[in-house]
Amino acid sequence: MKKNEKVQGICVDYTNEGLGIVKVNQFPVFVKNILVGEEAIIQLTKVTTHLAYGRVVERLSNSAERVEPECTSYRLCGGCHLQHMSYPHQLQFKTNRVKNCFERIAHLNVHVEDCLGMTVPWKYRNKVQIPVQNDNGRAVLGFYRSHSHDIVEYQECLVQSDLQNQITEYLRNELNGKASLQLLRHVLIKHALCSNEAMAVLIVKKDHPDFMKIARSLVEVFSEIKTVVLNFNDRNDNVILGDREKVLVGTGMIRENLKDLSFGISSKSFYQINPYQTEVLYSKALEFAQLTGQEEVVDVYCGTGTIGLFASRSAKHVTGIEIVKEAVEDAKRNAEYNHITNADFICSDAGAATETLLKQGIHPDVVIVDPPRKGLDQKTIESCTGMNPDRIVYVSCDPATCARDCAIFETLNYHVEKVQPVDMFPHTHHVETVVLLQRK
């Protein structure tokens, strides 16, 4: 096979990213926008020794799970991946993805529960980062096309809130013809969907008088916007936020509610993207933790303290560990704001902190870990198991690294008891997973 050649085949499976796998004489071809069971004529766009990529030229049959994408920009925008799948089929895909990771990576035969989805899987994002370009004085705001820096403009993004769409459209018009447009790199909008407070962050190369005028106009037009922040970033890389900031309006902070707790959110604070499913995710983590009010809990990678503070109401004491200093300060403020006195937070590397707690003779009943996409390192895993907790609850945003780590936990006397996927990001291939590991 060679590039631009046309082949015919039936989709038999999916990649982890949701691409269809079409076998042509047992040679795998990865194809966008094709579902299992569909037959199509495919033009090859890239051919390597072991696999190829292609695009559908003509679909010869349709799966019963195929739906027409509701977003008019879906085929161009790189934000969503699965809108051509029915939502039940998306959940099945995510359940199977987690199963495959545990079977193929961890070589563990574990039961994976069905992925927990949303009743209405739209308008769930509380954060949007929008690149801005200057087209001869016209403001171009949108999302990047897949694998490129070309911006796809849109009128309405269906996975973000109506308010975020309205703010984006307002800024698109407001920035047209302004001299400051060439200084603006990104717009970050955070909309706390439960409290309905919003923040706008203008990410710029340097300051300009226009930005204060824009900030004042934003809070005048949108009553939900409580603060506007100027973030300075003159670096030539893919990092969006710079280190230095200037608050133009408000306090630089908004608040979001999770059940009966309130959390402060700044421009740099990490908070789960989907607040509706966050409650589902954390409730499942606490169910696995089996707290009775008597337990010592260690929360590793605690961020701004969301899981730990959520758990503190059902535990004797919670110790949170986080390496980002600003996040630890946020966690302490969140505990104080919510009148929680049985939670402490340590600013430290996860492996070093758990090792220190171990040396201090602290033996928690439950350890909760919620690491970044890369998962846990060997030192942290050994420190967690060395504290000899009864249970470890692993919250993961990447089932591949989660499965890899669970295989190591198994060798250290902790058995995978339960695996629960949660759909935090409908219409994308991403999936969160909660795992209960029980000491053998």
Q: Judge contact between 21 and 28, C-beta under 8 A.
A: yes
Pick the CATH number of 127-254 from 3.30.1280.10, 2.40.50.1070, 3.40.50.1820, 2.40.50.140: 2.40.50.1070
Q: What is the DSSP letter of 160?
A: B
CA distance 98 to 166: 36
CA distance 295 to 312: 10
């696995």: which residue's tokens?
Answer: 288
The confidence score (pLDDT) of residue 149 equals 82
- Kindly report the backbone phi and psi dihedral angles of residue 219, in degrees, each rounded to the nearest multiple of 5, phi listed first: -75, -25
The confidence score (pLDDT) of residue 359 equals 83
CA distance 51 to 223: 53
Out of 11, 71, 77, 397, the active site residue is 397
The confidence score (pLDDT) of residue 358 equals 81
Give the percent of the chain with pLDDT over 90: 87
Which pair of structure tokens corresponds to residue 422? 């949660």
pTM: 0.93
CA distance 417 to 414: 9
CA distance 437 to 369: 11
The confidence score (pLDDT) of residue 356 equals 85
pLDDT class for 236, splitting at 50, 70, 90? confident
Which pair of structure tokens corresponds to residue 253? 């902070």
pLDDT per residue over 171-192, tens digit each?
A: 999 999 999 999 999 999 999 9
The CATH fold assigned to 98-118+274-439 is Rossmann fold (3.40.50)
- Domain with residues 6-59, CATH architecture: Beta Barrel (2.40)
CA distance 365 to 439: 11
CA distance 387 to 17: 36
Which pair of structure tokens corresponds to residue 105? 């990576």
pLDDT class for 438, splitting at 50, 70, 90? very high
CA distance 94 to 87: 11
- Kindly report the backbone phi and psi dihedral angles of residue 42, in degrees, each rounded to the nearest multiple of 5, phi listed first: -125, 135
Give how far the C-alpha of residue 241 lies from the chain's centroid of Cα atoms, to the nearest Å.
17
pLDDT per residue over 48-86, tens digit each?
A: 999 999 999 999 999 999 999 999 889 888 889 999 999
Instruction: Please state the domain extents for the chain.
Output: 6-59, 98-118+274-439, 127-254
- Kindly report the backbone phi and psi dihedral angles of residue 124, in degrees, each rounded to the nearest multiple of 5, phi listed first: -110, -15
- 3-class SS at 83? coil
Is 397 among the residues known to form the active site? Answer: yes
pLDDT per residue over 8-41, tens digit each?
A: 999 999 999 999 999 999 999 999 999 999 999 9
Of the candidates 389, 382, 392, 387, the residue with the CA atom closest to the CA atom of residue 360: 387
Average pLDDT, the chain: 95
79 sits in which H/E element: none
The confidence score (pLDDT) of residue 409 equals 98
Which pair of structure tokens corresponds to residue 432? 């969160």
Q: Judge contact between 42 and 55, C-beta under 8 A.
A: yes
127-254 and 6-59 share a CATH fold: yes
- Compute the average pLDDT of residues 266-274: 90
Q: What is the DSSP secondary-structure string of 239-256?
A: --S-SEEEEEES-S-EEE
- Compute the average pLDDT of residues 102-113: 96
Q: Does 208 score more than 80 pLDDT? A: yes
pLDDT class for 155, splitting at 50, 70, 90? confident
Q: What share of the chain is helix, strand, coil (3-state, %, to 5)?
A: 25, 35, 40
432-439/27-31 β-pairing: unpaired
